[in-house]
Chains A and B, each alone.
Chain A
Amino acid sequence: MKMLINVPETVVADALRGMAAAHPELTVDVENRVIVRRDAPVAGKVALISGGGSGHEPLHGGFVGPGMLSAACPGEVFTSPVPDQMVRAAAAVDSGAGVLFIVKNYTGDVLNFDMAAELAEDEGIQVAKVLVNDDVAVTDSLYTAGRRGTGATLFVEKIAGAAAEEGQPLERVEAIARQVNENSRSFGVALSACTTPAKGSPTFDLPAGELELGVGIHGEPGRERRAMMTSREIADFSVHAILDDMSPRNPVLVLVNGMGATPLLELYGFNAEVQRVLTDRGVAVARTLVGNYVTSLDMAGASVTLCQVDEELLRLWDAPVKTPGLRWGV
């Protein structure tokens, strides 16, 4: 496998150095792996902190900036960050109004953020946490680790970020983040496996001519493996999987997300099919976002996320945002 890297050990640090050079509006602490908006701490503003394994770019570092995250903590590739990073980030961005940890439901992320919350509270920082668990492909029961956090993370970070930017208090920003998560559902498919730099070969075996339905953002499998389907069939399967779980009465935000190696030509075509299924099912679409936002290194494939919104959530979604990965209204 050919990769544009030096050695696997420095992949994350090298990327952070490059990110710092491209985005002087961010403060990038390469050694401690914390990305902070340069004007933090913003007086009176609740700070949003997220993080997770690297390899999902632009998530999360690419979503740091006015209107979204205050700081992000990238871990090793596909490995959650360590508590020291979150505590350092919290100290850098807390203005006294408290911090909200946005945590995707993966065992490692949950455990490390839990430990970080305890440590940050010991330092006198008020911490609230919201867990993102939008992936309908996972059977959610007492006997699994629960639904994964995937595409809805972007909706939670953007909408709660806008609420924080307006100066809303921590309890309110947390409540909005929860509301977004509860109203979001996702489903992903993989057309190829991805390759982590440390391993250098595909992390799972997906034969040519087959696809994996219900895949997570590390390529970890979900529901089943089938013979390759058309874009139309994949859209039918994915959107129905979501609508079987949620019947939106309000309009929805749509995220058609690329996993890293699927070109926009295919993603736009897939979006056309997604919109067709939604129209057929009588679901009104308020806004649509198409692109690579929550990726899995070089995996081919896509995920669909729907978020049911009321007027307030839609207003917050439309609010200005200025980050490397998401930018409008400014």
Chain B
Amino acid sequence: MLDADFFRRWMTATAASVDREAERLTALDSPIGDADHGSNLQRGFTAVAATLEKEAPDTPGAVLTLAGRQLISTVGGASGPLYGTLLRRTGKALGDAGEVGEEQLAEALRAGVEAVMTLGGAAPGDKTMIDTLVPAVDALGTGFAAARTAAEQGALATTPLQARKGRASYLGERSIGHQDPGATSAALLIAALAEAAGE
């Protein structure tokens, strides 16, 4: 079973990973976005880690809800509301149980991903974070390591796609050949989940 501490480790591991990869995310965002994805997420997850250190919610749902609200309040751009909604809705779907099973987490994460799709209007194949999150959630049924692999492959698979949502969509065909920064950061989030599980 996964307790609040597991979810705090997940968020802390994400913050550390975003911190390490911020420059790479910004570099990926440079040719097809406006070169701020790394610094924006870094600001947000640093705030999340600091908040969770100060306040220690005692249920998995509360950890994610608080993290999501913090992202919405600090990130801005499209990634603030999108990542914020992902975590908030996942947290809400977990309810106020003190511990949750892996299956429950997979279901809640699916609800979170669906909320992101509704908010941003993106579907698989649009070259967004959805291309990472959908296969990751599908694979979560077979374990955290499988989810991480699926997420990484999903992010890599955005390279040949033409962007249809977000700022990269203005490039049209010229967005082809670049890996999507949002899909890449979403893979970091899922990899951190596997890390929190010790996998």
List the interface of chain A (C-beta within 8 A of B). 8, 53, 75-84, 106-108, 111-112, 114-115, 138-139, 143-145, 148, 196, 198-199, 203-205, 216, 218-222
Contacts and interface: CB of A to CB of B under 8 A. Distances in A.
Contacts of A111: 78, 80-82, 119-120
A114 B84 CA distance: 14
B199 interface: no
Contacts of B143: none
Given A196-B34, A218-B167, 14 more contacts: A53-B76, A78-B35, A79-B75, A107-B120, A111-B78, A115-B81, A145-B169, A145-B170, A196-B35, A196-B36, A198-B26, A198-B36, A204-B30, A221-B171
Nearest to A73: B76
Interface in B1-49: 26, 30-31, 33-36, 39-40, 43
A269 B40 CA distance: 39
13 contacts: A75-B76, A75-B77, A76-B36, A76-B39, A80-B80, A82-B72, A107-B120, A108-B76, A108-B77, A145-B170, A196-B35, A196-B36, A220-B33
A204 B169 contact: no
Ranked 7 nearest A-B pairs via Cβ: A108-B77, A111-B81, A108-B78, A107-B78, A218-B34, A79-B77, A79-B76
Interface string B164-182: 1111011110100000000
A112 B78 CA distance: 8
B77 A84 contact: no
A144 B171 CA distance: 10
B170 A220 contact: yes
Contact of A79 (B31, B40, B165, B174): B40
Contacts of A108: 76-81
> Which of B40, B79, B119 has the most C-beta atoms of chain A within 10 angstroms of its own C-beta?
B40
Interface in B109-160: 119-120
Contact of B36 (A77, A84, A115, A148): A77
Contacts of B169: 143-145
B51 interface: no
Contacts of B104: none
A56 to B, nearest CB: 12
Contacts of A77: 36
Nearest to B167: A220
Interface of B: 26, 30-31, 33-36, 39-40, 43, 72-82, 119-120, 164-167, 169-172, 174
A82 B170 contact: no
Majority secondary structure, A binding face: loop
B172 A139 contact: yes
Contacts of B77: 53, 75-76, 79-80, 108, 112
B81 A199 contact: no
Nearest to A196: B35
A238 B73 CA distance: 39
Nearest to A115: B81
> Which of B39, B77, B164, B165 has the most C-beta atoms of chain A within 10 angstroms of its own C-beta?
B77
Contacts of B33: 220
A219 B35 CA distance: 11
A216 B34 CA distance: 11
A106 B31 CA distance: 17
A199 B35 contact: yes
A221 B174 contact: yes
Contacts of A138: 170
> Which of A75, A79, A112, A222 has the most C-beta atoms of chain B within 10 angstroms of its own C-beta?
A79
B26 A144 contact: no
B45 to A, nearest CB: 15
B109 to A, nearest CB: 20
Nearest to A203: B35
B177 to A, nearest CB: 14
Contacts of A221: 170-171, 174
A203 B170 contact: no
B87 to A, nearest CB: 14
Given A145-B170, A220-B170, A220-B171, A78 B34 contact: yes
Contacts of B78: 80, 106-108, 111
Contacts of B81: 83, 108, 111-112, 114-115
